[in-house]
Amino acid sequence: MLRKSLLSRLIVLCLLGAGAGPMNAQKVSVWLTTDDQKTLMQPQSLVTFSAGASAIAPTIFVSENQVFQSIEGFGASMTDSAAFLLNEKVPSAALDDVMTSLFDRTQGIGISFLRNPMGASDLARYDYSYDDIPAGSTDPGLVDFSIAHDQTDILPLLRQARTINPQIKLVGSPWSPPGWMKTTGSMIGGSLLPSFYTAFAGYLVKYAQAYEAAGVPVDYLTLQNEPLYVPTDYPGESMPATDQLTILKNFVLPALAASHLSTRILVYDHNWDTPSYPQTVLADAALAGSAQVGGVAWHWYSGTAGSMTTLHNLYPNLGQYVTEASGGTWIADEVRTDFEAIIHSMRSWGKAYVKWGLALDQNRGPHAGGCGTCSGLITVDQNTGAVANTIDYYTLGHFSKFVLPGAVRIWSNNAPGILSAAFLNPDRSRVLVAYNDSASTQTFQVVWNARSLTYTLPALSGATFQWNAPIEAGCVAWARAVPGPARIGPPNRRRCWMYTVSAVQQIQASSYNDISGLQTEPCSDTDGGFDLGYTSKGYWSEYRSVDFGFGVTFVKVRLASAGLGGTLEFHLGSPIGPLIAKVPIPVTGGWQTWTTVTAPASGATGVQDLYVVFDSTGSSGGIGNLNWFQFQ
């Protein structure tokens, strides 16, 4: 009886928030990609929002009451290999259609963010820089600087891409400066010599100036691709965080300021697993507060996207950008991996998501060392010039085609077996990307503005939903006036439609509205999804508008711990508000070894903001992971 009454209460509250009739029958377009790759971003039959909601579970709520980061774009890298294949191997009569399929959002997937290696990377035909001189020579004045290499293939294609999509943004990243600047005298290995810090800063500035003169402005620069990895068979170098801080603060930023370029710096440019690197660089207040620093660049090969949330919370005025995320033969399920990673990145404050090579050939090349197992967005047959889209093209397209530059991510939850990310575009269209992360077909409902639709997704398949509707009066103006995650106080609760989540439905820990200290990570429990981890004493997560109805008597919690264990506390209103439940966190023997714990709950009625707080009597770290909780 209690469950029925609470679910009925949810439906009534949704109906009370309903507006006038026209939006009740709102039509929604749907595009689907299935895990077996037999359906690839294919349009499906229209579905319709209707008034109210039902007791069906799972439920995805979409709410414009909380806005997060603005989105700058999705894309890949215009490497030497990609440009060579497109410009010299694709027949000239076919190139326009190929470029349209990549960069036009009506006839293609609308790529809007590109990365450009500054000189050779591993996806290049040979090693080169913009200042190659005879061995044993140096050029501190950069007299021999030239971007002539890029004028053959790369720049013509970048100009064409910008013509198709003028909103494209570009980040330039060096794999290595010229060898004469380094300890090895070579583009392979070593590190930058302090005596050439000034020359290196000039090298970056000259690149940005030359590209702007060529009609391709550079929006961002990073100082070094993967500064914590020194490859032995392709260009690269070591650049410790303390060195990057010195080079950036004392050399690069002054040189950029003197040049009057608008180009900004993204620090780090490496994996999620070492957030201490950008923290070290940004610990310098002058850098963290500089208008010349745009944010942090990340790669996806190790760690969790939740690291970006940690950096955002430390430096909320700086952006988080995924600048490299290659697909390849080592990935068992590219559909699942991409949907999970891109959704996770968007839910972790990512402003851009950039795959690796834009194009590779039938042998996953050409490449000078490095990755021989990577995949591009398209494959170009060097023998025939024929072009084929890879699965990466479609998984990225579920976002790049529909989420426009200037969009903002709005709040949506994850549900058992279903992951989501939702967006409000500048043209007022809404976009929801939902992914079935479970091994079975899932039927779920989407609730938006007191209206709902029901949809069924095959196992491990993803869909993009898009619809247009006017904004509630006052809602957008208010939302855009509030930077960051807009905290809804009581006076503002009716500015936009407010969702209400039933306490007796399973609430995924990753569906938080706000967190302190914690990070989300991929979860291997039943139905997949993301759990909350990286716990320490006092860390908390917040869940707004949880409806406890006339009261609850106990709570079930899904937990895992390979640490010391501890307790999980449920508070109302704040992390130190009234305590309604206290759950022991057992040591389960693994961070992904899950168990369900039940504990008494009391003192909660009506609609409340709920805080979940980690506590420990011992060490402050390694308490446990949280997947979901459910009151009854």
**Model confidence pLDDT, tens digit, residues 90-114:** 999 999 999 999 999 999 999 999 9
pLDDT averaged over every residue in the chain: 92
Domain shared by 209 and 314, yes or no:
yes
- Band of pLDDT at residue 413, cut at 50, 70 and 90: very high
Measure the CA–CA gap between 623 and 493, rounded to whole angstroms: 35
- Band of pLDDT at residue 14, cut at 50, 70 and 90: very low
Q: What is the CATH number of the domain that holds 367?
A: 3.20.20.80
Q: What is the CATH number of the domain that holds 583?
A: 2.60.120.260
Query: What pLDDT is attached to residue 488?
Result: 32
Measure the CA–CA gap between 410 and 430, rounded to whole angstroms: 9
Task: Give strand ranges (E) for 95-160.
Answer: 113-117
Pairwise pLDDT comparison (358 vs 11), residue with the higher score: 358
Measure the CA–CA gap between 303 and 427, rounded to whole angstroms: 35
Given a cut of 80, is residue 131 above it in pLDDT?
A: yes
Select from 318, 322, 317, 314 the least CA-distant residue to 347. Answer: 322
Pick from 17-31, 137-151, 521-535, 569-583: least confident: 17-31
Backbone angles phi, psi at 436, to 5 degrees: -85, 105
Burial pattern 309-327, b for ≥16 Cβ within 10 A else e, equals bbbbbebeebbbbbbbbbb
**Under a CB-based contact definition with an 8 Å cutoff, are residues 175 and 236 in contact?**
yes
Query: What pLDDT is attached to residue 54?
Result: 79
Domain shared by 238 and 364, yes or no:
yes
Active-site pick, 64, 226, 237, 521: 226
Domain shared by 316 and 269, yes or no:
yes
**Under a CB-based contact definition with an 8 Å cutoff, are residues 524 and 336 in contact?**
no
Domain shared by 66 and 78, yes or no:
no
Active-site pick, 64, 72, 237, 324: 324
Structure tokens at 596: 């369900």
Domain shared by 90 and 133, yes or no:
yes
Is residue 334 part of the annotated active site? The answer reads no
Domain shared by 624 and 518, yes or no:
yes
Is residue 324 part of the annotated active site? The answer reads yes
DSSP codes of every residue in 54-111: -S-SSEEEEEEEEEEEE--EEEEE--HHHHHIIIIIS-HHHHHHHHHHHH-TTTS---
Query: What pLDDT is attached to residue 497?
Result: 73
> Region 420-425: what's the mean pLDDT?
98
Given a cut of 70, is residue 490 above it in pLDDT?
A: no
The pTM of this model reads: 0.94
> Region 424-438: what's the mean pLDDT?
97
Measure the CA–CA gap between 68 and 548, rounded to whole angstroms: 27
> Region 2-13: what's the mean pLDDT?
39
Structure tokens at 513: 């509205």
Query: What pLDDT is attached to residue 9?
Result: 41
Distances in Å between the Cα of 353 and the Cα atoms of 277, 310, 320, 345, 409 are 20, 18, 10, 8, 14
**Under a CB-based contact definition with an 8 Å cutoff, are residues 609 and 570 in contact?**
no
Query: What pLDDT is attached to residue 18?
Result: 38
Query: What pLDDT is attached to residue 493?
Result: 38
**Under a CB-based contact definition with an 8 Å cutoff, are residues 559 and 595 in contact?**
yes
Select from 431, 421, 434 the least CA-distant residue to 469. Answer: 431
Domain shared by 114 and 216, yes or no:
yes
Domain shared by 122 and 135, yes or no:
yes
> Region 209-235: what's the mean pLDDT?
98
- Whole-number percent of the chain with pLDDT over 70: 91
> Region 20-43: what's the mean pLDDT?
86
Query: What pLDDT is attached to residue 489?
Result: 33
> Region 36-62: what's the mean pLDDT?
92
Bridging pattern class, strands 462-468 and 514-516 = unpaired
Domain shared by 77 and 66, yes or no:
no
> Region 533-539: what's the mean pLDDT?
95
Given a cut of 60, is residue 7 above it in pLDDT?
A: no
Total domains in the chain come to 3
Which of 400, 435, 468 is at the close of a domain?
Answer: 400
Backbone angles phi, psi at 172, to 5 degrees: -100, 135
Given a cut of 70, is residue 2 above it in pLDDT?
A: no
Which of 375, 400, 425 is at the close of a domain?
Answer: 400
Query: What pLDDT is attached to residue 486?
Result: 37
Select from 288, 343, 354 the least CA-distant residue to 318. Answer: 288
**Under a CB-based contact definition with an 8 Å cutoff, are residues 587 and 563 in contact?**
yes
> Region 227-248: what's the mean pLDDT?
98
Given a cut of 80, is residue 368 above it in pLDDT?
A: yes
Sign of CA dihedral 127, 133, 136, 137: negative
Measure the CA–CA gap between 153 and 155, rounded to whole angstroms: 6
**Under a CB-based contact definition with an 8 Å cutoff, are residues 357 and 530 in contact?**
no
Given a cut of 60, is residue 626 above it in pLDDT?
A: yes
Measure the CA–CA gap between 200 and 181, rounded to whole angstroms: 8
- Band of pLDDT at residue 495, cut at 50, 70 and 90: low
Query: What pLDDT is attached to residue 484?
Result: 37
Domain shared by 86 and 187, yes or no:
yes
> Region 442-456: what's the mean pLDDT?
95
**Under a CB-based contact definition with an 8 Å cutoff, are residues 198 and 251 in contact?**
yes
Measure the CA–CA gap between 303 and 305, rounded to whole angstroms: 7
- Band of pLDDT at residue 620, cut at 50, 70 and 90: low
Given a cut of 60, is residue 411 above it in pLDDT?
A: yes
**Residue span of the structural domain in which 580 resides:** 507-631
Q: How far is C-alpha 479 from the chain's CA centre? A: 21
Given a cut of 50, is residue 492 above it in pLDDT?
A: no
Q: What is the CATH number of the domain that holds 490?
A: 2.60.40.1180
Query: What pLDDT is attached to residue 618?
Result: 67
**Under a CB-based contact definition with an 8 Å cutoff, are residues 452 and 445 in contact?**
yes
> Region 218-225: what's the mean pLDDT?
98
> Region 476-485: what's the mean pLDDT?
39
Which of 499, 524, 554 is at the close of a domain?
Answer: 499
Bridging pattern class, strands 220-221 and 169-173 = parallel
Domain shared by 380 and 420, yes or no:
no
Domain shared by 286 and 393, yes or no:
yes
Query: What pLDDT is attached to residue 470?
Result: 78
Query: What pLDDT is attached to residue 142?
Result: 98
